[in-house]
Structure 1
Amino acid sequence: MASPEAPPGPALSGDPNSAGSGSGSGSDVSTPENLVAQSEAPLEPAPVSPSDQSDRTETEVEPPASDTQDDSSDPLPDAQIRDDFSEPAAGERSGAATEAGRAISVAPTRKRRRRKKFFTEINGGPSLSRNRRYRLADPAKEIDMEALIAISVGFPVDSLTEEEIEANVVSVLGGSEQANYIIIRNHILARWRSNVSMWLTFEQALEAIRTEHRTLVHSAYYFLLEHGYINFGLAPAITEVKLRSADGGERANVVIVGAGMAGLVAARQLVFLGFKVVVLEGRARPGGRVRSKKMSGDGVEAAADLGGSVLTGINGNPLGVLARQLGLPLHKVRDVCPLYLPNGKAVNKDVDSKVEVSFNKLLDRVCNLRQSMIEEVKSIDVPLGTALEAFRHVYNVAGNPQERMLLDWHLANLEYANASLMSNLSMAYWDQDDPYEMGGDHCFIPGGNERFVREFAKDLPIFYGRTVESIRYGLDGVLVYAGGQEFRGDMVLCTVPLGVLKKGTIEFVPELPQRKLDAISRLGFGLLNKVAMLFTYNFWGADIDTFGHLAEDPSMRGEFFLFYSYHSVSGGPLLIALVAGEAAIKFEMMSPVESVNKVLDILRGIFTPKGIVVPDPVQAVCTRWGKDHFAYGSYSYVAIGSSGDDYDILSESVGDGRVFFAGEATNKQYPATMHGALLSGMREAANMLRVAKRRGIGSQ
C-alpha cells in the first residue's frame, strides 16, 4: 500500500528514454513524486550466521609434490582462517547507495590482472549500515542512484532486456508504462540490494509505490524473483525459502547434468519455482572447476583455489552478494606487481612502465583498426597474435632483448586472461565481452571459493559418481543414462564444460542441431594450470599480492610468469604460480616434482640474493585441467572464426523445450568467469519455467 504522504494523481510518462533520469521541465516524463511514495518503513536485516562447518572432513596429507586434484577436500573452517585481512573492498560493506557509487566506471587504467580492461571505481555514495534506509531526500537523485545499481547488475539504462520483453512485463513497448516499469524495477532491485540478507516480499516492494502502479510492481517483482535478480544467495532467510516450492505446486521433473556453479544455482532456483530436480555429478564432489584444496603439513595449513579463484570485478557481482551474506570480508588484490628478470634481478621501473604503455598502445591500435586490417589481409578473421606482431614491427616496439621479454610477459598475461595462445585468439572478437564487464576491484574470498559451492549443495538431491553417457529427448520427455542407471524427466539441463561437449563424450539422441554443433566446434576452450605451494613461513612479503617472472624463451613466456600470494586469505603461507599459453600445455607432460623444482629455482633466484632463505614447501599440488575428464580444459575463449554469437547459440534449448544448456561458455556477457556460470544457471531456471508454463509440462 502507498503511504498517506503519497501525492495525488497518477504518474504520467511519454518518453521511455527518461526512465531513471528524473523529471524535466515542460515534459510529461514520470516524476519520482508521482511514482514513488514519500515514506517507507526501514528494512530490518536478517541475521547472518557463519557457514556451517560441521560436515567438513579432513583429507589425508599428500606427498610434498602431487598432481592429484580431484579427490574431495574442504575449505578451512572460519576459525582457521587468518583474520588479518585488508580492508574489505569498497562497496562490499553494505548498502545500496554504496553499490550505486561502485556502478560508475571511468577511463580504464591497465593493471596486471586476469582481465582485458580495467575500471577505476568511483565510490560516490556513503557507506550505509544494513538497517539504514537507503532512500535519499531528493527523489530525482534517488531514482538516479537506483538506476546506477540496475546498470551495475546488467540492466540497460532506458530500455528492457530481451528477458523482460519475452516475459511481457509491460503491455506496450516504448511508452509511459515501460518508463514507469523501469523505475519500479530499479527501485525493487535497489531495495533488496540494500539488505541482501533479507527476503524481500511483494508487500514490502509495494510499500513505497503508489497503489495505481500495483500491476507494474507485480510484474517487476516477479520478473526479478523468477530470474534470480533478488532474493538469491546463501543468507539463512533466503535458503529457508528457496528449498521449497514458492506456491506448493510441482511443475515438472528436471534432470541436471553437472554439480558445478551453474548446476547448483539452477537446482536451487528450480526447486523454489516448483520443479522437482535431481543432480547428476561424475566427480565425488560438487563444484566442477571451482575447487578449493586443503593443504597442510608441519603445523601450517591453507585452502588453495585450484580452479576459479579471483572475483573479477565486484560491481554488481552476485558472488560479492554471497560474500556479504556469509559475512566474508573481500580481500582486494593490490595492483603492485613487481617483475623480475630470468636472473632474478628486478626489472627497472622506467623500462617496465615504458613497455607496458607500448603494449597497451599496440593493443588499442589493433582493436581500433581491426576492421581495416581484416579487409587488408582479405580474411574473415586473423589471429590476435599475428596482428599484434605486425604492429610491433611497424612501430618498432620492444627492440632490445629485455624489452622483448617484458612484452612477452604482457602477452603471457593476455594468454592467461583468455586461457589460450595468442595464435588461437580471434582478433575481431576476442574482447567481445568487454562492454559487459563488471567494474570494481578484483578480490579473493577468504578460505576458498568452494565455500560457496558447499553452501549451494546443501540439501540438494545430488548423485555423485554418475558420469552421464547419453541424453535422449523427445515429445514425451528425456532419458539420461549415467553410471548404469536411467533417469527420467520432463526436461534436462546440461551444464558440462565446453571441453566435454567438444570431446563428444555425451551422446545426444537425436543428435544436436548442426547450428549448435558448429558453435561448439568454433568456440575455443583453453587451458590454465597452477602450482600451489604451502610453506612454513611467508618469505615473499606481506605487502604484495602478486609478482611476476620473465622468460627468455618466447614460447615458454607463460611458464610460472605470475605468482599469487594467498597468505592473507588462505589460512597459511600459500603461494600459487600460474602457467599459461603454450607452457600450460607442456606443463601437463612434466612430473609434479620437476615442475615444483623449476618454481623453486625461480623463487630462489629472486630472493636468495636478497639474503632471504626459500625453504622447500611442506606440500605442493600441480593441476592438470587439460587431462581432467570432467573438464578437458579451464575456460572458454573466442577462437579465430568464432564470435560472441556462438555463446548465445550454445545457450539455446533444443528439442522443443526439452534440453537446456548452462555454464560459463553459454554466457556471452560474462564468459570464463564464476559469476558467468552462476548467472547462466539462474537464466536457464527462468527459461525452463517459461517453457513449462507455455507447454504445460508437468502438473502444477
Structure 2
Amino acid sequence: MIGRRSVMGLLAMLPFGKMAKAAGGGRIAVIGAGMAGLAAARALRDAGADVTIYEARDRIGGRVWTKRSWPGLPVDLGASWIHGLKQNPITALAAEAGAPLHPTDYESAAAFGAGRERPYPAEPWDMLEAAQKRAGKADADMSLRAAVEALPRWTKMSLPDRNAFRAAVHRMVEHEYGADWGDLSAWFFDEAEAFGGGDALFPHGYDQVASHAAQGLDIRLGTKVRAVTATRDGIRLTFADGSEATADALVCTLPLGVLQSGDVTFDPPLAPERQAAIDSLGMGLLNKCWLRFDAPPPVPAADWILNLGPPADLWPEWVNPSAAKPAPLLLAFNAGPRADEVEAWDDSTTLASAQDALRGMFGSAFPAPIAAQVTRWRADPLAYGSYSYHSVGTGADTRRALAGLDWDGRLAFAGEAASPDHPSTVHGAWLSGLAAAQALTE
C-alpha cells in the first residue's frame, strides 16, 4: 500500500480536478445505493460516465426500506413520508414510478390517555421560539433544553406544567429530529427549508421510488467497502472480502453514523473541515414498531393518535394507516434516548410494551396484536442511526463542509447529512446526490 506521505505527494502533483470533471467516458464509483447514491449515479450516467454503485446491503434503498413479509401489507421500516409535495423531486419520482400516495395531515389527530379521549394538548412552539430568540443573543450556541430552562417563564412554571411542556417537546421536537433536546442546537435545530403542499405516505411502499430510480444502473449488492485510497491512476476501493475495484472518481454516500464509526478508512485523510463536520454533527434515532391485528383496530379515523400516558414518553405517537383505507395495522414510534432504551429489548418485550400502551390509551378491551415488526437502526452497522441532526455548535455551514469535493476534486460526498437546505429527508439525500454529480462534471 502507498504510504500516507507518498499519497499526499501524489495529490499535490496529479491534475485531479481536470480528471474528475471529465465525466464523459470516465469511470465513477458510487458507495451506497440509497437515494443519494441512486441520484448521483443516474446523473453521472446521463453525463456519459461509466458508473458502478457498490452497496453493502443485499437490497437497494438504504434507509428507504419496505418490508413485504406480511402478504398484502407492505410496511416501511425506514423513510415513510414525502415531506412537502409541491416541487419536491420525490413527488416527481413517485409519479414516474406510478406509486400511489396517501396525503396525511397533522391536523387529523386525536389524543388518548388513561383509557379515554382527552383534549389535544397545547403545542410548545411559542416558548421554543422565545428560547431560540433569547439564545440567539448569546455569544455561543447552547442546547435547546438550556435555552428553555433559562427563560424566566420556565422558572415560574409549576411542575405539572413543566411536565406537560416536556412531553410536548418529546412528541413534536425529539421525534422530529431523533435526539434529546439537551443535544439539539438551540440556534439551528430546526434550520431547514421546506417544500409546500403537505405530506404523503406510500400505501404500497416507498421502495417503489427506489426501484424506479435504480432502473438501468450497474449496482453490485453485498459489496461492503472497508477502505478508500487515492492512487496514481485514481481511487481504489477495498472491500470486506479483500477484493478491490478502481475508478477515476468516487461519490461517497455513506450515512453519517458510518462515517463517524471509522468502519471505512480514507487514505489520505479527509480535509480537516470535512472531518470536523463528520465528528460534530449528531446521528439521531427514530425507531418504528409496526403492529398487525386480525382486523382494522378500533381507533378514530385520524392520521395521528397521541398517547398522553402515563407514561407519555414511551410510544407517544401513533400513525393510523386505516385513515386512508381499512388495514389491520398501527405504527408507533420511539425517538432519542427512549429509542436507544427500547432498541435493547427483544421483539416480544417491545410488542408487549406497545400493547400495554394501547390498552392504557383505549382501555383493557383493546385487541391484542398478532405480530410486530420492529426496527433497530442504531444497531445497524450500515447506518448506526436513523438520520442526522444539528447538535450544539453545528448548522447548515457544517453540512456544507461535509458536502462537496475532497482530494482535489476526485472524491465527492453526498447524503442527507450533507444537505444544508433539506437535511434528514429523502429529498435532501436525492438533491445532495445530484449536487455531487454536478460537482464532478461541471
Q: Scaled by the length of structure 2, what TM-score is found?
A: 0.89
1:560 Cα offset (Å):
0.7
Matches for 1:388-427 after TM superposition, within 5 Å: 388-391=148-151, 393-394=153-154, 396-397=156-157, 399=158, 401=160, 404-405=163-164, 407-427=166-186
Query: 2:65 aligned with 1:291, yes or no?
Result: yes
Query: 2:415 aligned with 1:663, yes or no?
Result: yes
Query: 2:77 aligned with 1:306, yes or no?
Result: yes
Query: 2:145 aligned with 1:385, yes or no?
Result: yes
Query: 2:419 aligned with 1:654, yes or no?
Result: no
1:537 Cα offset (Å):
1.2
Residues 138-183 of structure 1: CA distance to partner in whole angstroms, max 9, x if unpaired?
A: xxxxxxxxxxxxxxxxxxxxxxxxxxxxxxxxxxxxxxxxxxxxxx
Matches for 1:588-667 after TM superposition, within 5 Å: 588-608=343-363, 613-667=365-419
Q: How many residues align?
A: 418
How far apart in 1 are the matches of 2:403 and 2:389? Answer: 15
The alignment-based identity, stated in percent, is: 31
Residues 412-459 of structure 1: CA distance to partner in whole angstroms, max 9, x if unpaired?
A: 3200111111000111121221xx211221111221111111122233
How far apart in 2 are the matches of 1:584 and 1:682? Answer: 32
* Residues 302, 571 of structure 1: 8 Å contact kept: no
Residues 475 and 432 (structure 1), Cα distance of their counterparts in 2 relative to 1, 3 Å cut: farther
1:390 Cα offset (Å):
2.9
Which residue of 230, 234, 241 maps to 1:473? Answer: 230
How far apart in 2 are the matches of 1:491 and 1:278? Answer: 11
How far apart in 2 are the matches of 1:466 and 1:393? Answer: 54
Residues 570 and 308 (structure 1), Cα distance of their counterparts in 2 relative to 1, 3 Å cut: farther
Q: AA paired with 1:457?
A: A
How far apart in 2 are the matches of 1:439 and 1:396? Answer: 37
How far apart in 2 are the matches of 1:344 and 1:295? Answer: 32
* Residues 409, 550 of structure 1: 8 Å contact kept: no
1:118 aligns to what? Answer: none
Q: AA paired with 2:361?
A: I
Residues 3-60 of structure 1: CA distance to partner in whole angstroms, max 9, x if unpaired?
A: xxxxxxxxxxxxxxxxxxxxxxxxxxxxxxxxxxxxxxxxxxxxxxxxxxxxxxxxxx
Which residue of 284, 288, 291 maps to 1:533? Answer: 291
Which residue of 557, 578, 586 maps to 2:333? Answer: 578
Matched residue SS, 1:301: coil
Query: 2:257 aligned with 1:499, yes or no?
Result: yes
1:475 Cα offset (Å):
4.8
How far apart in 2 are the matches of 1:329 and 1:526? Answer: 29
How far apart in 1 are the matches of 2:280 and 2:393? Answer: 7
1:590 Cα offset (Å):
1.1
1:220 aligns to what? Answer: none
Q: AA paired with 1:424?
A: D
Give the greater-gyration-radius structure (CA): 1
Residues 86-129 of structure 1: CA distance to partner in whole angstroms, max 9, x if unpaired?
A: xxxxxxxxxxxxxxxxxxxxxxxxxxxxxxxxxxxxxxxxxxxx
How far apart in 2 are the matches of 1:465 and 1:284? Answer: 5
Residues 289 and 621 (structure 1), Cα distance of their counterparts in 2 relative to 1, 3 Å cut: same
Residues 426 and 618 (structure 1), Cα distance of their counterparts in 2 relative to 1, 3 Å cut: same
Task: Report the more deviating stretch, 486-495 or 446-455.
Answer: 446-455
1:212 aligns to what? Answer: none
* Residues 447, 569 of structure 1: 8 Å contact kept: no
* Residues 301, 572 of structure 1: 8 Å contact kept: no
How far apart in 1 are the matches of 2:147 and 2:40? Answer: 40
How far apart in 2 are the matches of 1:404 and 1:450? Answer: 39
Which residue of 490, 493, 508 maps to 2:248? Answer: 490
Residues 48-88 of structure 1: CA distance to partner in whole angstroms, max 9, x if unpaired?
A: xxxxxxxxxxxxxxxxxxxxxxxxxxxxxxxxxxxxxxxxx
* Residues 296, 326 of structure 2: 8 Å contact kept: no
* Residues 289, 634 of structure 1: 8 Å contact kept: yes
2:205 aligns to what? Answer: 448
Q: AA paired with 1:404?
A: N
Matched residue SS, 1:289: coil
Which residue of 250, 253, 272 maps to 1:514? Answer: 272
1:405 Cα offset (Å):
3.2
How far apart in 1 are the matches of 2:227 and 2:94? Answer: 37
1:315 aligns to what? Answer: 86
How far apart in 2 are the matches of 1:495 and 1:320? Answer: 22
Q: Scaled by the length of structure 1, what TM-score is found?
A: 0.57
Q: AA paired with 2:437?
A: A
How far apart in 1 are the matches of 2:208 and 2:370? Answer: 24
1:640 Cα offset (Å):
0.7
1:4 aligns to what? Answer: none
* Residues 437, 670 of structure 1: 8 Å contact kept: yes
Residues 516-573 of structure 1: CA distance to partner in whole angstroms, max 9, x if unpaired?
A: 11111111111111101121211234621110112446xxx54211001123568832
Residues 638-680 of structure 1: CA distance to partner in whole angstroms, max 9, x if unpaired?
A: 1012121110011121111111111001100000000001111
How far apart in 2 are the matches of 1:332 and 1:626? Answer: 29
Q: AA paired with 2:197?
A: G
How far apart in 1 are the matches of 2:268 and 2:128? Answer: 44
Q: AA paired with 1:319?
A: I
1:293 Cα offset (Å):
0.9
Residues 618 and 570 (structure 1), Cα distance of their counterparts in 2 relative to 1, 3 Å cut: farther
2:128 aligns to what? Answer: 363
Matched residue SS, 2:406: coil
Residues 183-236 of structure 1: CA distance to partner in whole angstroms, max 9, x if unpaired?
A: xxxxxxxxxxxxxxxxxxxxxxxxxxxxxxxxxxxxxxxxxxxxxxxxxxxxxx
* Residues 416, 528 of structure 1: 8 Å contact kept: yes
* Residues 340, 606 of structure 1: 8 Å contact kept: yes
How far apart in 2 are the matches of 1:586 and 1:597? Answer: 15
* Residues 664, 671 of structure 1: 8 Å contact kept: yes
* Residues 301, 322 of structure 2: 8 Å contact kept: no
Q: AA paired with 1:531?
A: C
Q: AA paired with 1:390?
A: A
* Residues 304, 574 of structure 1: 8 Å contact kept: no
Q: AA paired with 2:27?
A: N
How far apart in 2 are the matches of 1:455 and 1:605? Answer: 42
Matches for 1:554-569 after TM superposition, within 5 Å: 557-567=312-322
1:316 Cα offset (Å):
1.0
Q: Which runs of 4+ in 1 moved over 6 A?
A: none
Matched residue SS, 2:360: helix
* Residues 148, 154 of structure 2: 8 Å contact kept: no
Residues 566 and 441 (structure 1), Cα distance of their counterparts in 2 relative to 1, 3 Å cut: same
Q: AA paired with 1:366?
A: A
1:331 aligns to what? Answer: 102
Unpaired segments ≥5 residues, structure 1: 1-248, 691-700
1:146 aligns to what? Answer: none
Residues 678 and 507 (structure 1), Cα distance of their counterparts in 2 relative to 1, 3 Å cut: same
1:347 Cα offset (Å):
2.3
Matched residue SS, 1:340: strand
Residues 522 and 623 (structure 1), Cα distance of their counterparts in 2 relative to 1, 3 Å cut: same
